[in-house]
Amino acid sequence: MNYHINHLRELESESIYVMREVAAQFENPVLMFSGGKDSILMVHLAYKAFYPARIPFTLLHIDTGHNFDETIRYRDDLVAKTGCKLVVGSVQEAIDNGEIREETGVNASRNGLQTHVLLASLEKGKYDAALGGARRDEEKARAKERFFSHRDEFGQWDPKNQRPELWNMFNSKHRMGEHFRVFPISNWTELDVWQYLAMEEVELPSLYYAHKRMVIERDGILLADSEYIPKKPDEVPFEEMVRCRTIGDVTCTGVWRSEAATTKDIIEEVATTRMTERGGRADDKRSETAMEDRKKKGYF
């Protein structure tokens, strides 16, 4: 008899294992939920890891205030369905309190401001582990991330001084005030995520599927038109058939010309596409090391 599981089931098993380690090794873990497909996958896997018990993680949403309506609706439905506690860290509130200052100019985005609010929320909630849906295939700085990634008391990542991670043992030891970022889906690729979501018939926000939307074009990237995006005089919104490949803040999530209306179409599209999914992220385009620089400071 040949005992064998396919690659998606093996990735699933690995992620469940990591999530159970978090529940066992940490006192107060939180799952960072953005409303994107990766965090939806995370909640789906957490549900499986602890069934029939409830997911033992609080959900933390860092809200820039510049959301797609669909994201918030989906988030609230999911909270109702899973019975998880939801904590929202608000960028708007931090701006109103004078903790951080809004960027100005046409490319202004609240993306960078999230780091401050994230770290403040983790500190306030005394969370010792923050589970994230980052994947190593997304970006070159993320390719060097651990499953259990140690953060100092300032929330900083030190890529040159990471703990070696061997076999399936995860060292979560830390001092008071330090925390861990944990990435259970580190080894999944974009295609794996889509294939798995299709296999499991997971419902996603409609933004991921092709739909008609008013967009503007900037530096070769299509952005969804919204009141939060200051437009240059020559930028006239026009209607296109598009979908999102990643979902973040409205101001920096590029949309994508696409006719892919079903998960099956999307798998086809992802398998043959010529651009990485973060190719449409304005936040990564700022410089070659944009992600590495943000990660060191404590970004997702």
Partner 1 sequence: MSEEYSSSELLRFTTAGSVDDGKSTLIGRLLYDSKSIHQDQYEQIKKTSEKMGEAEINLALLTDGLKSEREQGITIDVAYRYFSTPKRKFIIADTPGHIQYTRNMVTGASTANVALILIDARQGVVEQTKRHAIIASILQIPHLVVCINKMDLVDFKEEAYNKIQEEFESFAAKLDVKDVHFIPISALLGDNVVNRSTNTPWYEGSTLMHYLENVHIASDHNFIDVRFPVQYVVRPYSDEFHDYRGYGGRVAGGVMKKGDKVMLLPSGFTTSIAQIDGPTGEQQEAFPPQSVTIQLADDLDLSRGDMIVRENNKPEVSQDMDLMICWFTGDVKLKEGGKYTIMHTTQEARCVIKDIRYKLDINSLHRNEEDKDIGLNDIARIHIRTTKPLFTDPYRTNRITGSVIIIDEGTNNTVAAGMII
Q: List interacting residues with partner 1 (CB under 8 A).
A: 2-14, 16-17, 20-21, 23-24, 48-54, 136-137, 140-141, 143-144, 159-160, 162-169, 171, 173-175, 186-187, 189, 191-192, 195-196, 198-201, 267, 273-276, 279, 288-289, 292
Separation CA 253–CA 223 (nearest Å)? 7
Radius of gyration of the chain (CA): 19
Query: How near is the Cβ of 237 to partner 1 at its closest, in Å?
Result: 25
Report, in Å, the least distance between residue 116 CB and partner 1: 23
Q: For the CB of residue 114, give the shortest distance to partner 1 in the complex, in Å.
A: 22
Please state the closest distance from residue 7 (CB atom) to partner 1, in A: 4
Nearest distance, CB of residue 67 and partner 1, angstroms: 26
Closer residue to partner 1 in complex, CB, 11/84: 11
Identify which of residues 97 and 161 has a Cβ nearer to partner 1 in the complex: 161
d(CA 32, CA 25) in angstroms, rounded, equals 18
Residue 205 CB, shortest distance to partner 1, in Å, is: 21
Closest to partner 1 by CB, 68 or 256: 256
Residue closer to partner 1 by CB (options 17, 228) is 17
Q: Comparing C-alpha atoms, which of 145, 170, 241, 190 is closest to residue 19?
A: 170
Tokens (6 digits) for 217? 């074009």
Beta strands in 18-159 (DSSP E): 29-32, 58-63, 86-90, 129-131, 148-151
Within 13 Å of residue 219, how many CA atoms lie on the same side as its CB?
12
Cβ proximity to partner 1, 162 vs 206, nearer residue = 162
Sequence-separated (6 or more) residues with CB below 8 Å from residue 202 = 40, 41, 44
Both tokens of 13, joined, read 């098993």
Q: Quick one: 121 or 263, whose CB is closer to partner 1?
A: 263
Question: Cα–Cα distances in Å, from 134 out to 69, 94, 131, 186, 248?
Answer: 23, 25, 9, 6, 13
DSSP state of 281: B
